[in-house]
Structure 1
Amino acid sequence: MLREWPPGYGGIERVAHELAEVWGGTVWSFDAQGRGWAEQDALPVTYKRRRLFCTPSIGRLVLPLPSRALWALLTSSHPLHGHLPSPGVLLLLVLARFVRPKRRITAHWHFFFEPRGSLRQRVFGFYQWLALRVVAQLSGVVTTSPLLRDELVRSGCHSNRLIVLPCCLSAEQENQGLAIQRLPPSSIVKDPMRVLFIGRLGSYKRLDWLMESLSQLITPWCLDVVGDGPSRAAFEAMASDLFSSSTLGEVQFFGQSSELDKNHRLRLADVLVLPSDSSNEAFGIVQLEAMASGLPALAFQLPRSGMGWVGELPDLPWSQNQKDLGMVLQRLADDPLLRCHLGAQARQRYVDVFSRKIWLDQLTQWTHA
């Protein structure tokens, strides 16, 4: 596998880590963010790793320098799987294809950028345009949902070279989630609905949209916010402005939490909301954690994102639009029986579609195809 450094808690990093754990080969990596020397791995690493020497980074762009390690990577006959998005990984996939045209070279496509007006966004847009043309020529492409598969086909990839492999939880995470025993409806009927948000406080996560929707409710609720980031102070100020005099709602910020604390919050919650507004969030791993724990996971249906697809439940039809989030939260706040029913339905969807056994079967079939 070829990827950026290091294994972290983000969805892309966790998926790459799980693939490396299962495949057991060498992971070639380079430090595009300048963090590999100073930070410990967030996840335990047992597989072999080799670091590639590269130029200093310009933003996220680094270029590999000539070295024995680079030559070994390019001339190897072993299959090579590149984890995108990464300009450096994309370049090395092209070089590896040039050096050994018959080698099995594949890529993992996690999300589509949304190019806008800024120079940085235009650069991302050019990278994406180039990446789509490169991956269309590779031996195969893995993506995370049927929606992204369809977008890749529309962008020029051959459907017979595409496979949908949803993101997965580690065996430990899955076991912890499935072991959680939800309280019966009779035990929670008088309690306020407990909403959970887990994510980085900044960028496209849109915790502000969630708080605005909760401010519309006429039934008691509480919101637990797990995570940290550059917008935390602004979100805390917003919560104070909206709810300091409220008798119905309360917001608590817990910051960056340990896995043990996060599991505790999942155990207490009634519903998880992932209110991201960008295709950069194409598949939220936290949705799987919630569903395995027996929680419905609400997310928006966005172009070029499978986020809404992940948590779809047959007995909770809604537009999956931001304007209707308050309405669906009010419905859940009013009906503890429905919340419990949807939680059981979410867990069953996890078992049927996203469980580790199914993920391993799909990965094995594709690897040996």
Structure 2
Amino acid sequence: MIDTADQLLREWPPGYGGVERVVHELASIWGGTVYSFDVQARSKHEHDALPVGYGRRVLPCSFSMGRMVIPLPSRGLWSMVWSRRPLHGHLPSPGVLLALLLARVVHPRRWVSAHWHSFLEPGPGLEGRMFVVYQSLVLRLLPWFSAVVTTSPVLAQELVRCGCRQQQVQVLPCCLSEEQECQALAIPARRMQQGDPLRLIFIGRLDSYKRLDWLLRSLAALKAPWQLAVLGDGPRRQAFEALSLSLFGPQAPVRFYGRVDEASKLAQLALADLLVLPSDRCNEAFGIVQLEAMAAGIPALAFQRHRSGMGWVAQLPALVWKQTPEALPAVLERLASDRALLSQLGTQSRERYQQLFARQIWMHRLHELLPHSAERKVSGR
């Protein structure tokens, strides 16, 4: 294993998104320097959410053209490109791709790897067409890198189908921090009584593709009593609150908590029976919140989407359903009325977490990620 590796990503870490969380966990083991473009300029006005022991550098970049930025010449960029340390870049991002290619050209024997977090699902218009062109280009270039890391067997199979070599693609699922895992595993099993309301939890940014509206409309069809805790904030919060009011009135069993700290999130997880991740795009390729729920002994529901592994993450043997938006109301009604099944799913969720996603397993996979053969390439031996 290579002990030190630099990383490059689009946003300023650690942030609150899945990519930033992955970068932080890798850097906590690898060390090195984490370079970012900080497209949203958050480093100028936001305090770091986490104290870190690794270096961070913000690279100057162009103004955003849609979601595309490119790095500008700077001392930090040249330092990253000319270094011979392994470099691990996080995609999708045209700017990150360009910098990885530049580093590969400058030192052809250097270990330069790409972390494929998600396929893009392009929308209409010019920006959507640009996404199609970018994704087609990057898929052609991926075989040129030392390795391609992705988060699930589903994405790995799709990358191989798109032209990557089987031996080049490695699977490293997302993980929880050591502290998060210990706290979640310590939550006792739920004591469920027939007739209690089904306590649901939603955790995520309140944006369009998260489709909290689908969950609210599904709950409107339920006959059994229920409660919903919504954790997170975003541009669609007011719209979702208005929808909740129109569906259920002022006494709705829905509470919007906004962005909460880790302690408050853990307290809400300890009260919940079920997490729902109703995202409708492959941009949501994994859903780390599902790991938080599973470690806490809470089953999670997510949709099966082409080119996304989110439906795979929390699949359980005792619950077979179509994993489609149309099937969500029926499965919620079933779980609300069958407390024994819900309890069984909680036990299976924690078991699946411990067998596939536990930090000890993640560490073992990480140690195999950059083998000694790569170290010899980097040093020129």
Give TM-score scaled by structure 1 length.
0.95
Q: 1:2 — aligned with what?
A: 8
Q: Quick one: distance in 1 between partners of 2:210 and 2:75?
A: 42
Residue 34, structure 1, aligned to residue 37, structure 2: no
Q: Quick one: distance in 1 between partners of 2:196 and 2:68?
A: 50
The Cα of 1:29 is off from its aligned counterpart by 2.3
Residue 66, structure 1, aligned to residue 73, structure 2: yes
Residue 244, structure 1, aligned to residue 229, structure 2: no
Residue 214, structure 1, aligned to residue 239, structure 2: no
> Counterpart amino acid of 2:127?
R
Give TM-score scaled by structure 2 length.
0.92
> Counterpart amino acid of 2:157?
D
> Any residues of structure 2 matched to 1:188-267 within 5 Å, and which?
188-244=193-249, 250-267=253-270
Which of 264, 272, 276 aligns to 2:275? It is 272
The Cα of 1:223 is off from its aligned counterpart by 1.1
The Cα of 1:28 is off from its aligned counterpart by 2.2
Larger deviation, residues 86-95 vs 230-239: 230-239
Report if aligned partners of 1:239, 1:251 keep a CA contact under 8 Å in 2: yes
CA RMSD for the aligned pairs? Answer: 1.5
Q: Quick one: distance in 1 between partners of 2:133 and 2:156?
A: 20
Which of 342, 346, 351 aligns to 1:343? It is 346
Q: Quick one: distance in 2 between partners of 1:302 and 1:65?
A: 36
Which of 128, 132, 149 aligns to 2:139? It is 132
Q: Quick one: distance in 2 between partners of 1:211 and 1:52?
A: 41
Distance verdict in 2 for CA 1:51–1:234, change over 3 Å = closer
Please state whether the residue corresponding to 1:96 is helix, strand or coil.
Answer: helix
Q: Quick one: distance in 1 between partners of 2:35 and 2:247?
A: 48
Which of 71, 82, 94 aligns to 1:87? It is 94
Please state whether the residue corresponding to 2:275 is helix, strand or coil.
Answer: strand
Q: 2:379 — aligned with what?
A: none
Q: Quick one: distance in 2 between partners of 1:59 and 1:34?
A: 15
> Counterpart amino acid of 1:289?
E
Q: 2:182 — aligned with what?
A: 175
Q: Quick one: distance in 2 between partners of 1:362 and 1:156?
A: 23
Give the percent of matched residue pairs that are identical in Structure 1 and Structure 2: 58
Which of 351, 360, 369 aligns to 1:366? It is 369
Distance verdict in 2 for CA 1:293–1:155, change over 3 Å = same
The Cα of 1:245 is off from its aligned counterpart by 8.1
Kindly report structure 1 stretches of 4+ aligned residues shifted beyond 4 Å: none
Please state whether the residue corresponding to 2:286 is helix, strand or coil.
Answer: coil
The Cα of 1:115 is off from its aligned counterpart by 1.8
Larger deviation, residues 331-340 vs 299-308: 331-340
Report if aligned partners of 1:33, 1:60 keep a CA contact under 8 Å in 2: no
Please state whether the residue corresponding to 2:276 is helix, strand or coil.
Answer: strand
Q: Per-residue CA shift, 1:23-54, capped at 9, x if unaligned?
A: 01122222222222222222322201233233
Larger deviation, residues 2-11 vs 345-354: 2-11
Q: Per-residue CA shift, 1:100-129, capped at 9, x if unaligned?
A: 111111000000111232211111222211
The Cα of 1:71 is off from its aligned counterpart by 2.3
Q: Quick one: distance in 1 between partners of 2:138 and 2:209?
A: 23
Q: Per-residue CA shift, 1:69-124, capped at 9, x if unaligned?
A: 32222222211111112111100111111111111110000001112322111112
Structure 1 alignment gaps of length 5 or more: none
Aligned residues: 365
